[in-house]
Amino acid sequence: MKTLVTGSTGLVGQSLKELAKIDKTKEWVFVTSKDADLCDLTQTNELIKRIAPDAVINLAANVGGLFKNMRQNVEMFEDNLLINMNMMKACHKNGVNKLVSIMSTCIFPDKVEYPIEEDYLHNGPPHESNMGYSYAKRMIDVLSNAYNKQYGTKFVTVVPGNLYGENDQFNLENAHVIPALIHKCYLAKQNNTEFCVSGTGIPLRQFTYVKDLAKVLVWVLESYSMSVPLIVSTEEEVCIQDVVFMIADKLSFEGDISFDLEPSNDGQYQKTVSSGRLKLFYKDMTFTGLDKGLDNTIEWFLYNYENIRK
């Protein structure tokens, strides 16, 4: 099986590259935005036609943390909508057998019964803080199902929990919460300043280690072809304050820690999801605990600091 992975320089793509080194059953092809602009249908179609994959894992996306989502709602909506529309059209046109698309837990309704299951997806609007990104990602489910019903394709969607891990984006303004906190704490220690955290620290999150997601994606290629989205998330839930103190401890930060106590910087209070469907189909899957995952991520961050995306 020839498997094409787009967005391969990102967090998930790098973890898939590591798995590809030991998976001799497939031919893996990894591409980046330098190979094609997936917001352009012509370039997307030419890429798929040229490589002629049997399967595609589409990781390409315009992504960022809470503050990027709030500042760039238009761009987040347009870019992500185009990327996924173009990829589905190109895969269908060129006879790709299977397409795996990535969504996000922020797609689920803001006001919902917890824990969230896959069939809650369209039961209400997402949280207003990332409306553009959320709706663009939610449309992946709509369009994938439309292709599957109309053309008999195998377009599958995966919904990962809040991801973190090695090779993440550590930009202070645009990163997701864990890489941003790691970088902030590191700089506070280096500069002997206060470790200032945006928001109250009260919100709850389930943080999923990226190598766990990569493992599931390889399994999905071989073993999951249903139109129902598949949530991939640890069920371990922690508040942001606890994560802050864990990171400070692991970086041996002994200075002051402050929270700005501005609720508007918190985003959604919680979005607790259930991994029951994953457990039903992938019985042997186990998730890396946050303590171990943070150890791995921080070790990588410190060793590669000069060259990381920041």
What residue segments make up the domains of the chain, in order of their start? Answer: 2-307
Alpha-carbon span 28 to 172, nearest angstrom: 33
Q: What is the pLDDT of residue 97?
A: 87
- The model's pTM is 0.93
User: 10 Å Cβ neighbour count for 133?
Assistant: 27
Q: 5 by DSSP, 3-state: which? A: strand
CATH code of the domain made up of 2-307? 3.40.50.720
* Residue 151 among the catalytic residues: no
Q: What is the pLDDT of residue 141?
A: 97
Q: What is the pLDDT of residue 76?
A: 87
Give yes or no for a cis peptide into 115 (omega within 30° of 0).
Answer: yes
Catalytic hit among 114, 133, 164, 282: 133
pLDDT digits (tens, 9 = 90+) for 47-82: 999 999 999 999 999 876 666 766 778 888 999 999
What is the enclosing helix (H) or strand (E) of 291? helix 290-303
Q: Which residues of the chain have pLDDT under 50?
A: none
233 exposure class (CB count in 10 Å sphere: 0-12, 13-18, 19+): buried
Counting residues of the chain whose pLDDT is more than 90, the rounded percentage is: 80
Q: What is the pLDDT of residue 67?
A: 63
